Amino acid sequence: MNVNRVSYINFTGRIIDSHTHVGKHDGGDYHKTDLDIFVKSELPNKDTIEKMIVSDLDVLHGIKGEYEGNKTALESFNNDKNYKLLASCNPKDGNIKNLEKLFQEYPKDFAGLKFHPDIQQLDLSDKKYEPYMEFAVKEKLPCLFHCQVDTLKDGKVNPATRHISDPENIYSLAKKYPKTPFIMAHLGAGWQEAHDKAIEILIESIKKGDANLYADISWVDIDQPQEHIVKAIKRLKGIGDKNWKYGDQSYRLMFGTDAPLARFKGKSARNTYANFIEQIKTSIKTDKDLMLEADKIIDDLFYNNAKKLYLSPQEASSISKFKILSGALIIGLAGFIGYYASHKKQPNTRELAG
């Protein structure tokens, strides 16, 4: 098989980046314009970013309050349909009343909640999370958590410590709210065994049915063979597990980048972004267990899974409005031709109207 040829097969070009940011972090100050470079024009690999899910770092760092910071971030995007915001939360210093006020004023403008226990150094067992989780349950909001495993220099899990944002800690909190989607960002961060640990936590939650866990792949296997991304997809599909009886659970994995942080900024940002996408697609298309359904897996990973989790039914349909209208026109034309070809029956107008 010619890997280079396979890697550039166009699967549809639709991408939703489920993990991006604006605000101040690690000496940088990031704005909508830093994300527009990915969204406003076709990427070097011909893919297009239809939407980015964004959270504000200033609120997470406590630079701005929960109401003021999220409102400022939202207004900075000026209703640009290429973006959807998560409401950043600071349970350590904030108050759920800030979120209640925010959602009363902007009831349809936030797709979920974002938490960063590591930045705030607030253990996930702290009761300060409870009102935020209860709010998420009430409003039926997915919750994105920074997720990170402590590892040693060789990539092995550090047996002596457990990170505040460890997937086990996220899982423990998620079990208290089993219907609420909890997304583990970065699939455990770290590398090697860190990702393996997050994958196994995902699998455990599915087998026990006691939590509703998801993960995004921001920073997973970047600039190297995408072994953990492929491994996660296979495990979630039950490939290689003769006792698997849970169906296809790969909808729990989503594309994300953490843009515009670190490698996704500066002159080479667009190329780095496009290369990351192509590496993932190539890994999926050339894997012997995945290649036969590679196009569907890619479309789900890069687009459908995030659309179903984060976007309302109205947005989910409008984001593909052109495709749907085109399909309806084709169906209508086919019915019209069929009518005149047969002269036996009229087309079903109810089907054509769909």
Residue-wise pLDDT for 287-328, tens only, equals 999 999 999 999 999 999 999 999 976 565 555 544 444 444
Ranges of the chain with pLDDT below 50: 1-12, 321-354
Residue 3 lies in a domain: no
Is there a domain that residue 6 lies in?
Answer: no
Q: Is 220 helix (H, G, I), strand (E, B) or coil?
A: coil
Domain hosting residue 145, numbered range: 13-311
353 and 283 part of one domain: no
d(CA 85, CA 1): 41
Does residue 125 share a domain with residue 53?
Answer: yes
237 plus 347 within the same structural domain: no
Query: Is 168 a member of any domain?
Result: yes
Q: What is the pLDDT of residue 312?
A: 73
DSSP output for 163-214? -TT-HHHHHHHHTTSTTSEEEEGGGGSSSTHHHHHHHHHHHHHHHHT--EEE
State the burial class of residue 314 (Cβ atoms within 10 Å of its Cβ: 0-12, 13-18, 19+): exposed
CATH number, domain with residue 219: 3.20.20.140
Cis-peptide, bond into residue 260, ω within 30° of zero: yes
Residue environment code for 155-193, b if the CB has 16+ CB neighbours within 10 A, otherwise e? eebeeeeebbbbbebbbebbeebeebbbbbbbbbbbbbb
> Would you state the pLDDT for residue 64?
97
- pLDDT one-digit tens code per residue, 22-59: 999 988 999 999 999 999 999 998 999 999 999 999 99
What is the model's pLDDT at position 315? Answer: 67
CA distance 148 to 198: 9
Q: 305 and 243 in one domain? A: yes
Flag whether 2 is in a domain. Answer: no
With respect to residue 7, please indicate whether it lies within any of the assigned structural domains.
no
Q: Is residue 261 part of a domain?
A: yes
265-272: list long-range contacts, CB under 8 Å, 24+ apart: 265/28, 265/30, 265/34, 269/37, 269/38, 270/37, 270/38, 270/43, 270/44, 271/44
Domain total of the chain: 2
Residues 268 and 352 in one domain: no
Does 176 share its domain with 272?
yes
Nearest Cα residue to 174 out of 143, 200, 203, 148: 143
Is the pTM higher than 0.85? Answer: yes
Answer yes or no: is 250 within a domain: yes
Answer yes or no: is 5 within a domain.
no
